Structure 1
Amino acid sequence: MSFPVVDKLVLQNNPDFALLHGKLTNVLLNADGSTKEDAGARQRRQVKDELDKRRLKAAKQHILTRAIATATPEQNSQPQHQQKGRFSGGRTHKSQQHQQADVAEPLIDIVLLLPSLVDQTQQQQLSPAAATLLMTSDPLANLDALLPDLAALLTTQLRSSALSLARIANPTTNPSYLHRHIASLAQSHKTLCDAASAARLSLASARLRTLASLVDLLALYSAGLTALIRALEAKHGVVARSVDLRSAEASLAAMHARFAAESTLHSSRAQIYTPRACGALSTYSAHLRDAKVRAGERVKVLSAELAGYGVGVDGGANKERTMREMARVYRDMARQMDDAKADLDRLHKG
């Protein structure tokens, strides 16, 4: 964990914070954010060094185990026999092949056995009796005699792995010169790690600078919009204010007209509906209600009389026709009587 990077523009705009940041980064804190005045720093450093040693030992053990597990005795020994066969006779070549075959078989057994033995030794310690029995049995009983061949095999395997790492670390180097970079693999790894850390810090700084530039750009946009608004106000402000004032005047005139209409309505109502007129209207309303009640009662009486004449009741159709006929005859007789009276009056006058 590294100490976070602060933008220079922030430090320039905040002197107090810049002073505090300088004290923190130069006096009180380390580059990784830990304090410099810690009493347990020495103990932690010792623990860290011990942990690094353990890690280095475990890494070496893992590399050795991996090299043993991936070693191939046939590939390592075959070129040597082919090269020796070129300079020796057929009998010597055959004897070397026979001797190499005798050596390769126990070596293969040791190569196959050592990885599991190393892993088992890391996980669980063998008892002395088991270790003695294992070392006195084939193929480990011949380990001293086969140790040079095993060392050459592991050296070849480790060199092949180192060449692969050197090819990755130096992709532009001629493959025939890669062996020169094997000794500097640790330094190359450290350089790459430092470059990665520097790149991360540079990326963080670039992000902060980008944010600062974005803030400046937004400030410029805001200033531009403000200037544009001011220019528009300077150009069209008089007309806009005139229109605003005229609209306010029209609104006030409309409000005055509404209040005047309401006042006229109230005064007209007060002039028309005087207390005397209101009393007369109340009396007339009561008279109308009484007339309505009397009219209803009269309708009921007339309906009862019509029912007596068979009008509006079930089974009274004949009676209704008789009464209608009598009314017609009565009207005719009344008309005849009127005509007779008119004739008599003319005779008397004549």
Structure 2
Amino acid sequence: MARAEWGHSNNGRGGNKWWSYKRTTVVICCMNIGVALYVLYSLYTSLYNYPYYDTQKAARYSQGQIRKMEESIRIRKESEPIELIKLVKQIKEEFLKERRMVNLPLPLKHKITDEIVERLQDLDPSANATEQQEAVERWRREKLKEAKKVKRGQALNSNILPEEAGMLAKALKSNWAELSEEIGLWIPVEIITKEHDDKPEGEEEFDDSIIPGRQLPPECHAKLHTDYDGAAVRWGLTHHKESAYECCQACLDHAKTAKPGENKCNIWVYCPSEGGCYSPDIYEHKLGECWLKYAENPRVNFKDRYSDSYRNSHPNSPVIVPWVSGIVSA
């Protein structure tokens, strides 16, 4: 009886060994491996079920289809404006070539600008635009003569380097207008208007307030190459005038017609440059912009020229301030 019980106990232990956790783990791992292999096989075979892998079928075209494609390509090429493309390319190359001729080294531009500003500062403060223009023209002729002497090796005491003499002479002689625009030099042209008493009968009175370059009245206090700060009462991007005179007049009119409690214009800022005027903001300021501003204590943003430190931090800025502005009389 005792042996039978012992044998039964051994059989029970054997059964527990066979279904132990180790064998269970092995079975589960095998099942996982089988599932993973099936998934990989499915992905591998599915890659060949897409049409774009059937390259042989995709590349098969009939002779008629090929002829139509060739005809389409031929028609497209014949319809291209070849002559126009060549002309545009030629104009672009000429323009870039011209711009390269004016593109002087930056230190040389600074040197030129410093000399021009110094020449203008030597003039009497009451000098008009004609006198300023004559002073700049005298400087240009003198500098051109000096550059030619340096180029020929005949100038001993000159601040022009021999390697700069050739391109400086070329810029001063052939590309002076472009160079003036590039360094931000602008001097207004005074237009002398004559009064005529022999106006034909029946002709309407001509409004000379729109004549570009009309002499500004004293109450405008116009300052060349000056940009005054202030709160805008009229946004210049959408407010254009034909002349500085009109811009100043718009400021005077605004001050007269302003409603009670509104800021009255006492500062006007005008862009007279055909190439536009630089300003340290995100907008492109164009010829004719007229900003009307107000400030209780007007102060200057920029005057005459931008400082070296400012140009170092704003490499796109010109050397000379392009704006003309003024504070109107109270």
Higher relative contact order (CA 8 A, sep 6+): 2
Fold shared, TM-score > 0.5 on shorter chain: no
Query: What is the TM-score with the length of structure 2 in the denominator?
Result: 0.21
Structure possessing the higher radius of gyration over alpha carbons = 1
Query: What is the TM-score with the length of structure 1 in the denominator?
Result: 0.20
Pick the structure with more helix per residue.
Answer: 1
